[in-house]
Amino acid sequence: MITGKYPSLRLRRGRKNDWSRRLIQENNLTPNDFILPIFVIDGKNKKIPIKSMPGVYRYTLDKLSYLVDKAIKAGLPMIALFPYTEKKKKKKNLTGTEALNEDNLICKSLQLIKQKYKNEIGIMCDVALDPYTSHGHDGLLNSGYVLNDETIEVLVRQSLLQAQMGCDVLAPSDMMDGRIGRIRKSLDKNGYQMTQILSYAAKYASSFYGPFREAVGSKNLLKGNKKNYQMDFRNSNEALREVALDIKEGADMVMVKPGLPYLDIIRLVKDNFKLPVIAYQVSGEYSLLTNGIRNDLIDKNVIIESLVAFKRAGANAIVSYYADRLDKILK
Ligand code: PBG
């Protein structure tokens, strides 16, 4: 590999001037690298701050056009929709039936955006029941255990409904065994051969999801933890097995989540499988990066450094809560 030695070889020659540093850059960020999560909530003309995520809001549907307009102008390839489902309005229950309601927030958002923007931007939706269950788990619960096969039946219906409403990329984030194959089969059978599946293949049971659970209103509801379905953060071989299975079952892309503490997993997956890998810089990471730093300039540089790390590790794109402020960050 090394083709010379000091003093004739000096790596600092390449770093001396700005033009040269730019010339030899290996990784960089463009708007194409970002997926913007959007939290939607019932009501009118509201933009509600999420306490643990400064700068991130829940929006009512009448604000969607404004957000999507901005995302398209910024050049983002895709948004990801997440619903805040209100317990007060009795929309949460044990089995998360609101997930299958054709008039739920996600279905309404999908129709609205698709009708207006066609294929100008991709729309991704989570496939999981946690915004809709009274216990905050991603699937059906039986004495504290999340049932696999029974949950898949509901997820297949949730997926089909979202595809019918215009979802471009279904993103099962539930970690049930075998769900990708079942979802693919049902999509194909019903005429949705071109709907993509982005599998949260390596999703860890993480303590970095806290602020997101506040954002979707499942935080205080969650009974126990998600360790009987999401992965143990001590493992990496297991992530490769998960990814291999999901690819076999028909995943078009895979997600590694959380982000920064799992760069090793991104690299492993990228080296072992040649398919698009998406990283999710999750809510807890966002809160840490955003709360810890005040000075504007440092703020921006820290954020860029954290985001470029994903590209260096091999990610094709990043789900990031900063994606709506790229004009300020990347400029
Ligand atoms: C739910 C889901 C979670 C996130 C995305 N989809 C939380 C969880 O699994 O409990 C977390 C995102 C974030 O923390 O930013 N299936």
Backbone angles phi, psi at 146, to 5 degrees: -85, 120
SS3 256: strand
CA of 73 to the centre of ligand 1 (A): 27
Residues 6 or more apart whose CB falls under 8 angstroms from that of 147 comprise: 139, 140, 141
List the residue whose alpha carbon is closest to atom 11 of ligand 1. Answer: 209
List the residue whose alpha carbon is closest to atom 2 of ligand 1. Answer: 173
> What Cα–Cα distance (Å) separates residue 317 from each residue in 48, 58, 305?
27, 23, 15
pLDDT at 298: 57
Task: Read off the pLDDT of residues 93-128 as tens digits, 9 standing for 90 and up.
Answer: 999 999 999 999 999 999 999 999 999 999 999 999
pLDDT at 299: 76
Q: Is the CB of 206 under 6 A from ligand 1?
A: no
Q: Which atom of ligand 1 is nearest to the CA of 37?
A: 15
Q: Is the CB of 282 under 6 A from ligand 1?
A: yes
Mean pLDDT of 148-167: 98
Task: Read off the pLDDT of residues 266-302 as tens digits, 9 standing for 90 and up.
Answer: 999 999 999 999 999 999 999 999 865 555 555 789 9
Distance CA 239, CA 243 (A): 6
Q: Is the CB of 218 under 6 A from ligand 1?
A: no
Amino acid at 108: K
CA of 305 to the centre of ligand 1 (A): 23
Q: State the DSSP string of 109-135.
A: HHHHHHHHHTTSSEEEEEE-STTTBTT
Distance CA 61, CA 264 (A): 38
Task: Read off the pLDDT of residues 211-254 as tens digits, 9 standing for 90 and up.
Answer: 998 888 888 899 899 999 999 999 999 999 999 999 999 999 99
List the residue whose alpha carbon is closest to atom 8 of ligand 1. Answer: 209
CA of 184 to the centre of ligand 1 (A): 22
Q: Do the Cβ atoms of 128 and 186 come closer than 8 Å?
A: no
List the residue whose alpha carbon is closest to atom 14 of ligand 1. Answer: 209
Beta bridge partners of 198: 253
Burial tier of 5 (Cβ tally within 10 Å: 0-12, 13-18, 19+): exposed
Residues 6 or more apart whose CB falls under 8 angstroms from that of 48 comprise: 41, 57, 58, 59
Q: What is the distance in angstroms between the CA of the first residue and the CA of the last residue of the chain? A: 35
Q: Which atom of ligand 1 is nearest to the CA of 319?
A: 15
Give me the active site residues, please.
Answer: 203, 257
Weakest mean pLDDT among 20-34, 159-173, 207-221, 275-289: 207-221
CA of 89 to the centre of ligand 1 (A): 22
Q: Is the CB of 82 under 6 A from ligand 1?
A: no
Longest dimension (CA), the chain: 73
pLDDT at 3: 82
CA of 257 to the centre of ligand 1 (A): 9
Burial tier of 322 (Cβ tally within 10 Å: 0-12, 13-18, 19+): buried
Q: Is the whole-model pTM more than 0.85?
A: yes
Residue to mutate, 130, 162, 214, 283, ligand 1, most ligand atoms under 8 Å from C-beta: 130
Q: Is the CB of 173 under 6 A from ligand 1?
A: yes
Residue to mutate, 84, 124, 212, ligand 1, most ligand atoms under 8 Å from C-beta: 212
CA of 310 to the centre of ligand 1 (A): 19
